Amino acid sequence: MTYVHSSSRAQGQRTGRGVEWEFDKVTFSREFPRTVVTKLLVERAEQGGWELDRVRIGADGTRRIVLRRKIIRAVRTA
């Protein structure tokens, strides 16, 4: 079984409303059952504040998942 967590994160991407997102890519091989993948993604969502952005299932059964979370910038008040 292969679980690949890509450490390449695209930071600072903005949508039209000025919201910045951080993206993270995760890949699961076809040997992982759907229930295991779901549990791992739920854990990441609860622990790190990630949400699903995109799920692609390749012809070979590999799941390529893109997660995102908002970047919250602290604003200094005087």
Say if pTM beats, i.e. exceeds, 0.85: no
Is 77 a domain residue? Answer: no
Is 20 a domain residue? Answer: yes
Is 76 a domain residue? Answer: no
Is 25 a domain residue? Answer: yes
pLDDT at position 7, please?
Answer: 45
Is 75 a domain residue? Answer: no
Domain that holds residue 61: 3-70
Q: Are 5 and 26 in contact (CB under 8 A)?
A: yes
- Can you tell me the distance from the alpha carbon of 67 to that of 53, in angstroms, rounded to the nearest whole number? 5
Q: Compute the average pLDDT of residues 9-19.
A: 60
Is 53 a domain residue? Answer: yes
pLDDT at position 9, please?
Answer: 53
Please count the structural domains in the chain. Answer: 1
Is 57 a domain residue? Answer: yes
| Residue 10's pLDDT band (cuts 50, 70, 90) | low
pLDDT in tens, 26-74: 999 999 999 999 999 999 999 999 999 999 999 999 999 999 999 887 7
pLDDT at position 4, please?
Answer: 62
The Cβ of residue 14 has, within 10 Å, a number of other Cβ atoms equal to 10
Q: Are 1 and 29 in contact (CB under 8 A)?
A: yes
Is 12 a domain residue? Answer: yes
